[in-house]
Structure 1
Amino acid sequence: MAYDGSLYHGWQIQPNAITVQELLDKAMSVFFRQPIETLGCGRTDAGVHATDFYAHFDVEDLEETKVLSAIAGINAMLPYQIAAKRIIPVHNEAHARFDATARAYKYYLHFGKNPFKLNRSWLIKDKLDVEAMNQAASLLLNYTDFSCFSKSNTQTFTNNCKVIKAVFEKQEDGLVFTIQADRFLRNMVRAIMGTLVQIGKKEINLDDFKAIIESKNRSKAGQSVPACGLYLVKIEYPYINERIRG
């Protein structure tokens, strides 16, 4: 599925806020005429978008053909900002979160006021040294413990991640940062971006960036950048991607 997160308080159901998961579960429960509870491939915060998001669910006593043809009916009940793309049969123990082998995010920022990028990209007016930012980004591949970029008091057993790609690319009126890893910590990409922007502004240097990572201290890293520029763009599973390509 895909969604524009601008209007929603993130993916996961919450008691006093509208979320993507809540609306998806309601639409699917109506369509399948039974309670449906999805479990997503991860949590996205309020205002964060997704162009490639997976959730698994169980459905009882229905023919597979009806399930696989359900997309149009489900989309008819979802708001325009949320789109179901495809339903893929998987084995009974499949888990959208824990079975993912890789994830990728993109973060967009632009330098000039543009009404068509409102809530889609971060407007930043500072001049940035992109070469220095890429040098710093490449250092992420040399580390595994990213405690300095994680929210505190999270329910995770480890802050270790394997980053396999981190690079800035220039666009017509801005930049896009792509980062791919086996897993991400809460708020990790936005905290990394905030610190890399400090590099771009020449507020810190590469040695400072290394020291921040090695400190494992969130207070040493930069502030989290706004959610509007962040997109979850790719999730990989060993048993799904081949079926999609096929």
Structure 2
Amino acid sequence: MRFFIEISYKGSSFFGWQIQKKNMSIQETIETCLSFLLKIKIKIIGAGRTDTGVHAIQMFAHFDLTTHFDLTTNHFKSKLNSFLPLNIKIINIFYVKKNIHARFNAISRVYEYRISLSKDPFLFKTSWQWLSKNQIELKILKKGANILKKYKDFSSFCKEKYKKNLCEISTAKWILKKNILYFRIEANRFLRNMVRSLVGTLIELGRKQITIKDFIKIIEAKNRNLAGITAPAKGLFLIKINYPLNIFLKKN
């Protein structure tokens, strides 16, 4: 059987999602607990690879197990959560159709970046604390976000070179709530460091360090060297991953 696990985690204490040789990752932590409980080596495949310090409100991963034991029960989920550290939570476990892939069958992903506009000791690990005297113009930020939906090639905001740097952005917006700026973006796929690079460049736009025309030129140049700084990882959250509803199976 193939299982999907829905996961939430705070990434501050981990060196990203993917297993590494010398550093602790979210993937390794979950695999270790699953393998211990099921008495068999478990390998999970995530829907993506969040970087060091990045958080997830909703992440998915899949794994295979040849057993009739029902892992979707609340009892097993509670037991698994009791073995996991407090900064990782298993929200749910589902049966899915065979050959369904957590990464490749995703329709879209939603990320959110958070910027605290004041010093807050309770948010310093989960937001970019903006303590500069230079004000950020929300109106200009929104104009920049709207422009993104007109383009598909985001090579200027990609850490690595890919054969295809095309992404279809369906949502890109800024929201201000209680002195926190939220940048919400949804697309069919994202490039490495794309969201953080976009945020850093948009902030330069909001501070009037560059103009709207400059911002458009940066996008169209397809050159990472022209874009702005990369925003800190700690402010980035993977919010949601959307899948076709027909991939899930009802348990017998």
Given the two structures, how large is their TM-score scaled by the length of structure 1?
0.94
- The reply to whether residue 208 of structure 1 matches residue 214 of structure 2 is yes
Q: Contact conserved, 2:71 with 2:93, CA < 8 A, in 1? A: no
Structure 1 match to 2:140: 132
Secondary structure of 1:84's aligned partner = strand
Are the structure 2 counterparts of residues 202 and 101 from structure 1 closer, same or farther at C-alpha, using a change threshold of 3 Å? same
Distance 1:40 1:66 in 2: 18
Q: 1:59 to 1:242 in 2, by over 3 A?
A: closer
Gaps in structure 1 of 5+ consecutive residues: none
C-alpha distance after superposition, 1:214-233 (max 9, x if no partner) = 00000000110001110000
1:72 pairs with 2:81: no
Residue 26 of structure 1 aligns with which residue? 32
Report the CA distance between 1:44 and its aligned residue.
0.3
Q: 1:39–1:96: 8 Å Cα contact kept in structure 2?
A: yes
* Equivalent position amino acid for 1:229 in 2: G
Contact 2:114 2:236 in 1 (8 A): yes
Question: Displacement of 1:68 after TM fit?
Answer: 3.6
Shift of 1:243: 7.6
1:155-197 per-position Cα deviation (integer Å, ceiling 9, x unaligned): x441000001110001111211100000000000000000000
What is the DSSP-based 3-state SS (H/G/I as helix, E as strand, rest coil) of the residue aligned with 2:241? Answer: strand
Deviation for aligned residue 1:111: 1.4
Letter in 1 for 2:110: A
Residue in 2 aligned with 1:141? 149
User: How far off is 1:112 after superposition?
Assistant: 1.1
What residue number does 1:120 align with? 126
SS at match of 1:87: strand
Correspondence for 1:102: 108
Partner of 1:165: 171
User: Helix, strand or coil: the match of 1:51?
Assistant: strand
Where do 1:2-17 residues align within 5 Å? 2-17=8-23
Shift of 1:123: 0.5
1:142 is aligned with what amino acid? K
Distance in structure 2 (CA, Å) of the matches to 1:75 and 1:121: 26
The one-letter amino acid paired with 2:35 is S
Q: How far apart in 2 are the matches of 1:241 and 1:117?
A: 37
TM-score normalised according to structure 2 size:
0.92
Residue of structure 1 aligned with 2:61, choices 26, 30, 55: 55
Matched, 1:90 2:96: yes
| Structure 2 unaligned blocks of 5 or more | 1-6
Give 1:193-232 correspondences, 5 Å limit.
193-232=199-238
Shift in Å, 1:152 = 2.1
Compute the displacement of 1:241 (Å).
8.5
What one-letter code is carried by the residue in structure 2 that aligns with 1:193?
V
Residue 60 of structure 1 and its aligned partner are, at CA, apart by 1.6
The letter for the 1-side match of 2:23 is A
Measured at CA, do residues 243 and 234 of structure 1 come closer, stay the same or move farther in structure 2, by a change above 3 Å?
farther
Q: Give the conservation status (yes or no) of the 8 Å contact 1:68–1:88.
A: no
Question: 1:131 is paired with a residue of what secondary structure?
Answer: helix
Instruction: Give the letter aligned to residue 140 of structure 2.
Output: A
Which amino acid is 1:182 matched to? Answer: N
Q: 1:66 to 1:55 in 2, by over 3 A?
A: closer
8 Å contact from structure 1 (residues 149, 218) kept in 2:
yes
Higher-strand-fraction structure: 2
Per-residue CA deviations over 1:44-93 (Å, capped at 9, x if unaligned) read 00000000000000012232x34444211111111000000101100110
